[in-house]
Structure 1
């Protein structure tokens, strides 16, 4: 309610109050038609004041409802903005998780290939180790045979005469 409207309402009530104070004295002094006219005027002023009061209260309720609606609209706008921001953050997180999944898949594939390469390397190392042992045994047999032949030659040459 604006100050101007409040002053108008206050002035109306003040004049009505003044009339109410004077009405019993006037009603006692007057009789018949004059008395009825005073009471009728008084009733009209009261109904007019009630109508203005009712209109003002409806207007105040309407303004209050409009303000509540505006506040609710702003709240909904903020909620929509927050929802949009949350949606964008969620989308960014999903994209980042997708990229991380791809990295993990590539890493897993590299580990599988590395594991396969290590298995092949172990097989090669075992094969090389077997060959090494085989070569040493073969070399040892050859040396022993050469020593036996040399011993046989020395025996035949020096001891068999």
Structure 2
């Protein structure tokens, strides 16, 4: 029902209400056939008023149903927006996790590379220590041989 129809029904209801309100006074003043006619009119007016009341209650129910439907539609729209936002956030998180995985893979490769470099350094240090130790031993052996050779030359040529 449109607003105009509702206004017409409201005016009709008002006029019926006013008439029904005055009917008992008129019925007391009249007698016979006119009284029966007034009572009949009163009954007709009451049934019309009941019909108008019924129409108004149906209209109110219809308006309430429409409002509920509108609220449900708005709620569904909000839910769809939230679902779209959640989907976008999920996509962003997946992309970020992919980037972090790549970073972790690169970091793992660097650690493996560093570990192999550290092992290489340990091996080089061990080799340089052995080299220094070998040179020292060789130097001590050469010095001892020179000392022995000097002792033999001294004994052979200068000791007589």
Structure 1 residues 103, 158: closer, same or farther in 2, change over 3 A?
Answer: same
Are positions 1:92 and 2:77 aligned together?
A: no
Return 138-147 or 45-54, whichever deviates more: 138-147
**Structure 2 residues without counterparts, runs of 5 or longer:** none
Structure 1 residues 135, 69: closer, same or farther in 2, change over 3 A?
Answer: same
Structure 1 residues 155, 43: closer, same or farther in 2, change over 3 A?
Answer: same
Instruction: Give how far 1:126 is off.
Output: 3.9
Moved over 6 A (4+): none
Instruction: Give how far 1:160 is off.
Output: 3.4
Return 124-133 or 46-55, whichever deviates more: 124-133
Instruction: Give how far 1:102 is off.
Output: 2.2
Instruction: Give how far 1:115 is off.
Output: 0.7
Instruction: Give how far 1:80 is off.
Output: 0.8
Q: Give the root-mean-square deviation of aligned CA atoms.
A: 2.9
Structure 1 residues 42, 146: closer, same or farther in 2, change over 3 A?
Answer: same
Are the equivalent residues in 1 in contact too, given 2:20–2:45 (CA < 8 A)?
no
Instruction: Give how far 1:155 is off.
Output: 1.4
Structure 1 residues 108, 11: closer, same or farther in 2, change over 3 A?
Answer: closer
For the residues of structure 1 that align with 2:146 and 2:18, how far apart are their CA atoms?
Answer: 151
Structure 1 residues 14, 110: closer, same or farther in 2, change over 3 A?
Answer: closer
Between the two proteins, the alignment pairs up a number of residues equal to 160
SS state at 1:81 partner: helix
Instruction: Give how far 1:82 is off.
Output: 0.9
Structure 1 residues 76, 135: closer, same or farther in 2, change over 3 A?
Answer: same
CA offsets, 1:104-156, max 9 Å, x none? 122112202211221x3244324423432343334323432453255236515
Are the equivalent residues in 1 in contact too, given 2:27–2:38 (CA < 8 A)?
yes
Instruction: Give how far 1:75 is off.
Output: 1.4
Task: State the TM-score, normalizing by the size of structure 1.
Answer: 0.78
